[in-house]
Amino acid sequence: MNNSRHTRRLSLLAIGLVLLLLLFAVLGAAGHAAWTLWRCSQDAEEGESCYVGIVRDGRFQPWLPASAPRGTLLRLTSIHMQEARSPESGEPDLRAYEGRLILLQGRDGGGWLYSARLIRTFGP
């Protein structure tokens, strides 16, 4: 009976350590994304913004910075704001990044991110 308590405690300790390691990994990735976002913002041209977010249903959902539009899915386009063509004509296919955290830079324009550039992907 004493041996089974010892085994149980070791199992709980092992589970706790695994959960702690997972927490550090998640916090580390979030911290890295925040640091990279800050660097991107420092290097951005005037009028450009940087966003970290996730790709859902082929569209980009921004998470950072705190000023990012919440609960919206931004569409991306490679064209410039003043080009005489539709933003859809420069819209990239984001399906390859589905479910991934990415860093983008571009010019915010009413639901579209113009001159959008993928700066970095995070995670596997």
Domain boundary assignment for the chain: 2-122
For residues 77 and 114, the answer to whether their CB atoms sit within 8 Å is yes
The structure's pTM equals 0.68
Greater model confidence, 68 or 19: 68
Could you read off the pLDDT of 17-50 as tens digits, one per residue? 666 555 555 555 556 677 677 777 777 788 888 8
Q: Which two tokens stand for residue 40?
A: 């991107």
In this prediction, residues 103-115 reach a mean pLDDT of 89
Give the per-residue pLDDT at 90: 93
Does residue 1 surpass a pLDDT of 60? no
| Site of tokens 């010019």 | 107
